[in-house]
Protein backbone atom coordinates (compact mmCIF):
# COMPACT_ATOMS: atom_id res chain seq x y z
CA UNK A 1 0.00 0.00 0.00
CA UNK A 2 1.34 3.45 -0.98
CA UNK A 3 2.13 5.65 1.99
CA UNK A 4 1.22 9.34 2.09
CA UNK A 5 4.88 10.24 1.52
CA UNK A 6 5.04 8.12 -1.65
CA UNK A 7 1.88 9.25 -3.41
CA UNK A 8 2.22 11.36 -6.57
CA UNK A 9 -0.86 13.53 -6.05
CA UNK A 10 -0.86 16.52 -3.66
CA UNK A 11 -1.53 15.69 -0.02
CA UNK A 12 -5.11 16.43 1.01
CA UNK A 13 -6.84 16.92 4.34
CA UNK A 14 -8.45 13.50 3.96
CA UNK A 15 -5.00 11.90 3.62
CA UNK A 16 -3.82 13.49 6.88
CA UNK A 17 -7.12 12.56 8.54
CA UNK A 18 -6.70 8.91 7.56
CA UNK A 19 -3.04 8.70 8.63
CA UNK A 20 -3.60 10.29 12.03
CA UNK A 21 -7.00 8.76 12.76
CA UNK A 22 -8.65 12.15 13.18
CA UNK A 23 -11.70 13.66 11.53
CA UNK A 24 -11.22 16.00 8.57
CA UNK A 25 -12.78 18.87 10.55
CA UNK A 26 -10.34 18.31 13.43
CA UNK A 27 -7.37 18.34 11.04
CA UNK A 28 -8.66 21.50 9.35
CA UNK A 29 -9.16 23.31 12.65
CA UNK A 30 -5.77 22.22 13.94
CA UNK A 31 -4.05 23.56 10.82
CA UNK A 32 -5.93 26.85 11.24
CA UNK A 33 -4.83 27.06 14.90
CA UNK A 34 -8.40 26.96 16.19
CA UNK A 35 -8.94 27.44 19.90
CA UNK A 36 -11.37 24.49 19.76
CA UNK A 37 -8.47 22.05 19.36
CA UNK A 38 -6.08 21.10 22.14
CA UNK A 39 -2.45 22.21 21.90
CA UNK A 40 -1.09 18.64 21.78
CA UNK A 41 -3.35 17.74 18.84
CA UNK A 42 -2.49 20.96 17.05
CA UNK A 43 1.23 20.31 17.36
CA UNK A 44 0.80 16.72 16.19
CA UNK A 45 -1.22 17.68 13.10
CA UNK A 46 0.93 20.66 12.16
CA UNK A 47 4.17 18.68 12.51
CA UNK A 48 2.80 15.86 10.36
CA UNK A 49 1.53 18.32 7.70
CA UNK A 50 4.98 19.90 7.54
CA UNK A 51 6.65 16.50 7.21
CA UNK A 52 4.47 15.38 4.27
CA UNK A 53 4.69 18.82 2.55
CA UNK A 54 0.98 19.58 2.80
CA UNK A 55 -0.10 22.72 0.91
CA UNK A 56 -3.62 24.12 1.46
CA UNK A 57 -5.80 24.64 -1.60
CA UNK A 58 -5.99 28.44 -1.40
CA UNK A 59 -8.37 28.68 -4.37
CA UNK A 60 -10.88 26.29 -2.79
CA UNK A 61 -10.50 28.06 0.56
CA UNK A 62 -11.07 31.42 -1.11
CA UNK A 63 -14.16 30.27 -2.98
CA UNK A 64 -15.63 28.88 0.22
CA UNK A 65 -15.01 32.17 1.97
CA UNK A 66 -16.14 34.15 -1.12
CA UNK A 67 -12.74 35.83 -1.10
CA UNK A 68 -9.91 34.68 -3.38
CA UNK A 69 -7.44 37.36 -2.21
CA UNK A 70 -6.54 38.47 -5.69
CA UNK A 71 -7.22 41.58 -7.75
CA UNK A 72 -7.05 41.83 -11.52
CA UNK A 73 -5.80 44.86 -13.42
CA UNK A 74 -6.50 45.36 -17.14
CA UNK A 75 -4.11 47.60 -19.06
CA UNK A 76 -3.60 48.16 -22.80
CA UNK A 77 0.04 47.02 -22.63
CA UNK A 78 2.43 46.44 -19.78
CA UNK A 79 5.47 47.52 -21.85
CA UNK A 80 4.22 51.12 -21.69
CA UNK A 81 6.19 52.87 -18.91
CA UNK A 82 3.10 54.64 -17.61
CA UNK A 83 1.13 51.41 -17.18
CA UNK A 84 4.06 49.50 -15.69
CA UNK A 85 4.34 52.22 -13.02
CA UNK A 86 0.59 51.98 -12.42
CA UNK A 87 0.95 48.23 -11.85
CA UNK A 88 3.82 48.82 -9.41
CA UNK A 89 1.61 51.17 -7.41
CA UNK A 90 -1.26 48.67 -7.40
CA UNK A 91 1.01 45.84 -6.22
CA UNK A 92 2.52 48.04 -3.49
CA UNK A 93 -0.92 48.67 -1.99
CA UNK A 94 -2.38 45.21 -2.61
CA UNK A 95 0.48 43.11 -1.24
CA UNK A 96 0.60 45.23 1.92
CA UNK A 97 -2.99 44.15 2.55
CA UNK A 98 -2.55 40.49 1.71
CA UNK A 99 -3.70 40.48 -1.92
CA UNK A 100 -2.00 39.31 -5.10
CA UNK A 101 -2.39 41.06 -8.46
CA UNK A 102 -3.17 39.43 -11.80
CA UNK A 103 -2.08 41.56 -14.79
CA UNK A 104 -4.04 41.32 -18.04
CA UNK A 105 -3.32 43.07 -21.34
CA UNK A 106 -6.11 44.13 -23.69
CA UNK A 107 -3.96 45.53 -26.52
CA UNK A 108 -6.66 48.20 -27.00
CA UNK A 109 -9.13 45.57 -28.21
CA UNK A 110 -12.71 45.96 -27.03
CA UNK A 111 -13.46 42.29 -27.71
CA UNK A 112 -10.40 41.12 -25.78
CA UNK A 113 -11.24 43.41 -22.89
CA UNK A 114 -14.82 42.21 -22.54
CA UNK A 115 -13.77 38.56 -22.79
CA UNK A 116 -11.14 39.02 -20.08
CA UNK A 117 -13.63 40.77 -17.79
CA UNK A 118 -16.15 37.93 -18.18
CA UNK A 119 -13.45 35.34 -17.50
CA UNK A 120 -12.19 37.17 -14.39
CA UNK A 121 -15.70 37.39 -12.98
CA UNK A 122 -16.19 33.67 -13.63
CA UNK A 123 -12.90 32.97 -11.82
CA UNK A 124 -14.08 34.99 -8.82
CA UNK A 125 -11.58 37.85 -8.78
CA UNK A 126 -12.25 39.94 -5.68
CA UNK A 127 -12.08 43.19 -7.65
CA UNK A 128 -11.18 44.71 -11.02
CA UNK A 129 -9.02 47.69 -11.98
CA UNK A 130 -9.70 48.89 -15.52
CA UNK A 131 -8.03 51.30 -17.91
CA UNK A 132 -10.64 50.76 -20.54
CA UNK A 133 -10.43 51.28 -24.29
CA UNK A 134 -12.22 54.07 -26.19
CA UNK A 135 -15.65 52.54 -25.51
CA UNK A 136 -15.76 52.84 -21.71
CA UNK A 137 -19.54 53.25 -21.68
CA UNK A 138 -19.93 49.83 -23.32
CA UNK A 139 -17.84 48.24 -20.58
CA UNK A 140 -20.04 49.85 -17.92
CA UNK A 141 -23.19 48.66 -19.72
CA UNK A 142 -21.79 45.13 -20.03
CA UNK A 143 -21.00 44.99 -16.32
CA UNK A 144 -24.53 46.12 -15.50
CA UNK A 145 -26.09 43.61 -17.89
CA UNK A 146 -24.08 40.82 -16.26
CA UNK A 147 -25.33 41.94 -12.85
CA UNK A 148 -21.76 42.17 -11.64
CA UNK A 149 -21.35 42.58 -7.90
CA UNK A 150 -17.54 42.65 -8.05
CA UNK A 151 -16.11 46.06 -7.08
CA UNK A 152 -14.56 47.92 -10.03
CA UNK A 153 -12.24 50.93 -10.13
CA UNK A 154 -11.52 52.72 -13.39
CA UNK A 155 -8.24 54.58 -13.83
CA UNK A 156 -6.67 56.75 -16.56
CA UNK A 157 -9.31 56.05 -19.23
CA UNK A 158 -12.58 56.34 -17.38
CA UNK A 159 -16.32 56.48 -18.19
CA UNK A 160 -18.27 59.73 -18.07
CA UNK A 161 -20.71 57.89 -15.81
CA UNK A 162 -20.35 59.21 -12.25
CA UNK A 163 -21.62 56.00 -10.62
CA UNK A 164 -18.20 54.36 -10.41
CA UNK A 165 -14.84 54.71 -8.69
CA UNK A 166 -12.25 56.67 -10.70
CA UNK A 167 -8.60 57.68 -10.46
CA UNK A 168 -7.21 59.98 -13.15
CA UNK A 169 -4.42 62.37 -13.98
CA UNK A 170 -5.44 66.02 -14.35
CA UNK A 171 -5.37 65.70 -18.14
CA UNK A 172 -6.87 69.12 -18.80
CA UNK A 173 -4.31 70.99 -16.71
CA UNK A 174 -1.42 68.88 -18.03
CA UNK A 175 -2.36 69.64 -21.63
CA UNK A 176 -2.88 73.32 -20.81
CA UNK A 177 0.57 73.53 -19.19
CA UNK A 178 2.27 71.68 -22.04
CA UNK A 179 0.73 73.87 -24.72
CA UNK A 180 1.41 77.04 -22.73
CA UNK A 181 5.10 76.04 -22.49
CA UNK A 182 5.30 75.85 -26.29
CA UNK A 183 3.64 79.27 -26.52
CA UNK A 184 6.14 80.61 -23.97
CA UNK A 185 8.90 79.46 -26.31
CA UNK A 186 7.42 81.63 -29.06
CA UNK A 187 5.42 78.97 -30.93
CA UNK A 188 2.10 80.01 -32.45
CA UNK A 189 1.25 77.24 -34.91
CA UNK A 190 1.02 74.25 -32.61
CA UNK A 191 -0.30 70.96 -33.99
CA UNK A 192 -1.85 68.40 -31.68
CA UNK A 193 -1.38 64.65 -32.18
CA UNK A 194 -4.47 63.56 -30.29
CA UNK A 195 -5.57 60.09 -29.20
CA UNK A 196 -8.62 58.15 -30.46
CA UNK A 197 -11.98 59.90 -30.59
CA UNK A 198 -14.39 59.15 -27.76
CA UNK A 199 -11.62 58.46 -25.27
CA UNK A 200 -11.95 60.42 -22.01
CA UNK A 201 -8.30 61.46 -21.89
CA UNK A 202 -8.39 62.51 -25.55
CA UNK A 203 -11.26 64.91 -24.92
CA UNK A 204 -9.72 66.37 -21.75
CA UNK A 205 -6.34 66.94 -23.39
CA UNK A 206 -7.86 68.60 -26.44
CA UNK A 207 -9.77 70.90 -24.09
CA UNK A 208 -6.59 71.87 -22.22
CA UNK A 209 -4.70 72.43 -25.47
CA UNK A 210 -7.51 74.57 -26.89
CA UNK A 211 -7.89 76.70 -23.76
CA UNK A 212 -4.15 77.41 -23.66
CA UNK A 213 -4.23 78.63 -27.25
CA UNK A 214 -7.28 80.82 -26.70
CA UNK A 215 -5.79 82.25 -23.50
CA UNK A 216 -2.81 83.41 -25.56
CA UNK A 217 -4.99 84.96 -28.24
CA UNK A 218 -4.39 82.12 -30.73
CA UNK A 219 -7.40 80.69 -32.51
CA UNK A 220 -7.97 76.92 -32.44
CA UNK A 221 -7.50 75.49 -35.93
CA UNK A 222 -9.24 72.10 -36.17
CA UNK A 223 -7.01 71.25 -39.12
CA UNK A 224 -4.04 71.13 -36.75
CA UNK A 225 -5.65 68.43 -34.57
CA UNK A 226 -5.03 64.89 -35.86
CA UNK A 227 -6.63 61.91 -34.12
CA UNK A 228 -4.60 58.72 -34.09
CA UNK A 229 -4.89 55.24 -32.71
CA UNK A 230 -1.72 54.15 -30.97
CA UNK A 231 -0.50 52.30 -34.06
CA UNK A 232 2.83 53.63 -35.34
CA UNK A 233 1.92 53.69 -39.04
CA UNK A 234 -1.23 55.74 -38.45
CA UNK A 235 0.55 58.23 -36.21
CA UNK A 236 3.37 58.73 -38.74
CA UNK A 237 0.82 59.15 -41.54
CA UNK A 238 -0.90 61.91 -39.54
CA UNK A 239 2.43 63.57 -38.84
CA UNK A 240 3.34 63.60 -42.54
CA UNK A 241 -0.05 65.08 -43.38
CA UNK A 242 0.39 67.90 -40.86
CA UNK A 243 3.92 68.57 -42.12
CA UNK A 244 2.99 68.69 -45.79
CA UNK A 245 -0.26 70.65 -45.44
CA UNK A 246 0.41 72.99 -42.51
CA UNK A 247 4.11 72.93 -41.47
CA UNK A 248 3.53 73.59 -37.73
CA UNK A 249 6.29 75.17 -35.68
CA UNK A 250 5.57 72.84 -32.72
CA UNK A 251 3.77 69.62 -31.82
CA UNK A 252 1.91 68.61 -28.70
CA UNK A 253 1.54 64.81 -28.39
CA UNK A 254 -1.19 63.28 -26.25
CA UNK A 255 0.34 59.97 -25.16
CA UNK A 256 3.66 58.26 -24.61
CA UNK A 257 3.55 56.31 -27.85
CA UNK A 258 2.45 59.35 -29.87
CA UNK A 259 5.24 61.39 -28.27
CA UNK A 260 7.93 58.97 -29.39
CA UNK A 261 6.41 58.47 -32.85
CA UNK A 262 6.41 62.26 -33.26
CA UNK A 263 9.98 62.55 -31.97
CA UNK A 264 11.09 59.87 -34.43
CA UNK A 265 9.35 61.62 -37.33
CA UNK A 266 10.87 65.02 -36.46
CA UNK A 267 14.38 63.55 -36.37
CA UNK A 268 13.82 62.11 -39.85
CA UNK A 269 13.16 65.57 -41.34
CA UNK A 270 15.74 67.52 -43.34
CA UNK A 271 18.25 69.70 -41.41
CA UNK A 272 16.78 73.19 -40.90
CA UNK A 273 13.22 71.96 -40.48
CA UNK A 274 14.27 69.33 -37.97
CA UNK A 275 16.05 71.90 -35.82
CA UNK A 276 13.27 74.47 -35.65
CA UNK A 277 10.41 72.26 -34.47
CA UNK A 278 9.65 71.97 -30.74
CA UNK A 279 7.89 69.03 -29.13
CA UNK A 280 6.04 68.57 -25.83
CA UNK A 281 4.37 65.27 -25.03
CA UNK A 282 3.33 62.81 -22.36
CA UNK A 283 5.95 60.27 -21.29
CA UNK A 284 6.91 58.38 -18.15
CA UNK A 285 9.80 56.64 -19.87
CA UNK A 286 12.75 56.53 -17.41
CA UNK A 287 15.25 57.02 -20.26
CA UNK A 288 13.53 59.97 -21.96
CA UNK A 289 16.06 62.37 -20.42
CA UNK A 290 18.76 60.82 -22.60
CA UNK A 291 17.16 62.05 -25.83
CA UNK A 292 19.15 64.57 -27.85
CA UNK A 293 17.67 67.02 -28.70
CA UNK A 294 15.58 67.09 -25.54
CA UNK A 295 11.81 67.24 -25.40
CA UNK A 296 9.28 68.76 -23.03
CA UNK A 297 7.89 65.86 -20.98
CA UNK A 298 4.57 65.72 -19.15
CA UNK A 299 5.13 63.11 -16.44
CA UNK A 300 2.04 61.55 -14.89
CA UNK A 301 1.97 60.38 -11.24
CA UNK A 302 1.51 56.78 -12.35
CA UNK A 303 2.71 55.00 -9.19
CA UNK A 304 0.46 57.12 -6.98
CA UNK A 305 -2.47 56.60 -9.36
CA UNK A 306 -2.03 52.83 -9.08
CA UNK A 307 -1.76 52.98 -5.31
CA UNK A 308 -4.86 55.17 -4.98
CA UNK A 309 -6.83 52.91 -7.34
CA UNK A 310 -5.87 49.78 -5.37
CA UNK A 311 -6.73 51.42 -2.04
CA UNK A 312 -10.12 52.46 -3.41
CA UNK A 313 -10.78 48.93 -4.61
CA UNK A 314 -9.63 47.24 -1.41
CA UNK A 315 -11.78 49.59 0.69
CA UNK A 316 -14.76 48.73 -1.52
CA UNK A 317 -14.05 45.01 -1.09
CA UNK A 318 -13.86 45.49 2.67
CA UNK A 319 -17.16 47.42 2.46
CA UNK A 320 -15.56 50.47 4.03
CA UNK A 321 -17.29 52.69 1.48
CA UNK A 322 -21.01 53.10 2.01
CA UNK A 323 -23.21 51.96 -0.85
CA UNK A 324 -23.69 54.71 -3.42
CA UNK A 325 -20.55 56.63 -2.48
CA UNK A 326 -17.87 56.58 -5.17
CA UNK A 327 -14.28 57.65 -4.76
CA UNK A 328 -12.72 60.06 -7.23
CA UNK A 329 -9.09 61.18 -7.34
CA UNK A 330 -7.57 63.63 -9.85
CA UNK A 331 -3.80 63.83 -9.48
CA UNK A 332 -1.51 66.51 -10.99
CA UNK A 333 1.13 65.84 -13.63
CA UNK A 334 4.58 67.45 -13.82
CA UNK A 335 5.91 69.34 -16.85
CA UNK A 336 9.66 68.98 -17.19
CA UNK A 337 12.01 70.15 -19.93
CA UNK A 338 14.40 67.21 -20.17
Which domains are seen in the chain, by residue range? 13-56 (no CATH), 66-169+303-333 (3.40.50.2300), 171-299 (3.40.50.2300)
- Average pLDDT over the chain reads 88
Query: At residue 122, what are phi and psi to the nearest 5 degrees?
Result: -60, -35
User: Residue 166 in 3-state DSSP?
Assistant: strand
Task: Kindly state the average pLDDT of the residues 97-114.
Answer: 91
CB of 121 closer than 8 Å to CB of 143: no
pLDDT above 50 (res 1): no
pLDDT at 232: 93
pLDDT above 70 (res 3): no
pLDDT at 337: 86
Give yes or no for a cis peptide into 293 (omega within 30° of 0).
yes
**DSSP, residue by residue, 38-49:** -HHHHHHHHHHH
The pLDDT tens digits for 27-68 are: 888 887 788 888 889 889 888 888 888 776 655 555 455 567
Amino acid sequence: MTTIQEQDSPVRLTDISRELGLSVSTVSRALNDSHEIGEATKRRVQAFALRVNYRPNLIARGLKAMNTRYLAILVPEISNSFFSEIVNGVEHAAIARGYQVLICQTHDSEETELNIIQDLIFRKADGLLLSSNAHQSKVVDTLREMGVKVPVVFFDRVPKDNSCHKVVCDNYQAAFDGTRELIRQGRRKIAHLAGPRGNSITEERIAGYSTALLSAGISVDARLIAHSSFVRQEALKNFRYLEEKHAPDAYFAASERLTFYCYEAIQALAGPRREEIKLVGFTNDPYAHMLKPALGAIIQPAFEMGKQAADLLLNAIARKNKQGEYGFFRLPAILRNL
